[in-house]
Amino acid sequence: MTSNQEIRTYYDELAERYDDNRFGNTYGRYLHEQEKQILRRWLKDIPVKDCVELGCGTGRLLDFAGTGVDFSPKMLKQAAVKYPKHQLQVADITDLPFSNHSFKAAFAVHVLMHLDIEVIRQVLRQAYRIIRPGGYFIFDVPNLWRRRFINYSKGGWHGNTALSQNELGIICGNDWRIVHTAGVLLFPIHQLPNAVRRPLRPLDSWLCRTPLKRFASYHFYALQRQ
Ligand SMILES: C[S@@+](CC[C@H](N)C(=O)[O-])C[C@H]1O[C@@H](n2cnc3c(N)ncnc32)[C@H](O)[C@@H]1O
């Protein structure tokens, strides 16, 4: 079981370097652009003020949400510099400081992969509480099927949890319906030369919307609250 303290300390220590370290290179920019494209498509009808980001970190994706929550004060401090007018709250996403049905949509990117399944269930319960009926919860999670296929065995909490769509469906029960799925990172981009990464991205994004998304590293899901 991973402790929250361990994750929070890790991100507090990384906060000042996070943007550059994770997204300042060709691999990070590739991911960033693919992820933004998905959010742009799926959130196009949701006003920014009606959307909250859970685990918003330094605010990489806060163009899509007017409110952000993170339990790392130092990550949020970076976000506040970029988004001084946003509502930014230090809180645990398993215990959100919002009243019922406050938002039309929530999203969490690169967050659930850190959490144990029981914690993911708690996050889904909180999202269910704060989102209005018919609203959406969007998130990404590593693709369990691909991990089994390539015999992935990296340990540690960082990318610990992967799910298949079947497992996710079981966790959702009757509270949520999976309405969209998309892949991210179909090509093993970290093994390819820098020069070909950018030109490959549109093809990767397109293939990740076809049945080949089954092979992608991550899956984005949009759940609709029932
Ligand atoms: C990999 S970063 C992702 C940040 C941002 N979503 C992005 O994509 O750039 C993961 C973030 O989740 C936050 N986090 C992890 N578990 C959390 C929890 N239980 N409650 C609140 N924030 C959490 C961490 O502090 C960190 O800022």
Task: Domain ranges for the chain, please list them.
Answer: 4-221
pLDDT of residue 1: 54
Please give the backbone phi and psi of residue 134, each rounded to the nearest 5 degrees, phi first: 90, -10
| Cβ(189)–Cβ(197) below 8 Å | yes
Whether the per-residue pLDDT at 33 is higher than 70: the answer is yes
Quick one: which of 184, 180, 200 has its CA closest to 192?
Answer: 200
* 34 within 8 A of 183, measured Cβ to Cβ: no
Residues 41, 109: Cα–Cα separation, whole Å: 15
Tokens 């966790």 -> residue: 171
pLDDT of residue 2: 62
Q: How confident is the model at residue 157 (pLDDT cuts 50, 70, 90)?
A: confident
Q: Environment class of residue 125 by beta-carbon count within 10 Å: exposed (0-12), middle (13-18) or buried (19+)? A: exposed
Confidence of residue 203 (pLDDT cuts 50, 70, 90): very high
User: Would you give the end-to-end CA distance of the chain in angstroms?
Assistant: 30
| Model confidence band, residue 79 (pLDDT cutoffs 50, 70, 90) | very high
| Neighbouring residues of 210: CB distance < 8 A, sequence distance ≥ 6 | none
The confidence band for 173, taking pLDDT boundaries of 50, 70 and 90, is very high
**111, 114, 141, 218: which to mutate for ligand 1, most atoms within 8 A of CB?**
111
Mean pLDDT of 63-81: 98
Over residues 109-134, the mean pLDDT reads 96
Looking at domain 4-221, its CATH class is alpha beta
For the chain, what percent of residues have pLDDT higher than 90?
A: 86
Confidence of residue 212 (pLDDT cuts 50, 70, 90): very high
Interval 152-173 mean pLDDT = 86
In the block, tokens 């967050």 appear at: 111
Atom of ligand 1 nearest to the CA of 10: 25
> What is the share, in percent, of the chain residues with pLDDT greater than 70?
99
Please list every protein residue whose CB sits less than 6 Å from any atom of ligand 1.
4, 7-8, 11, 55-57, 60-61, 70-72, 75, 92-94, 109-111, 114
* Mean pLDDT computed over every residue of the chain: 94
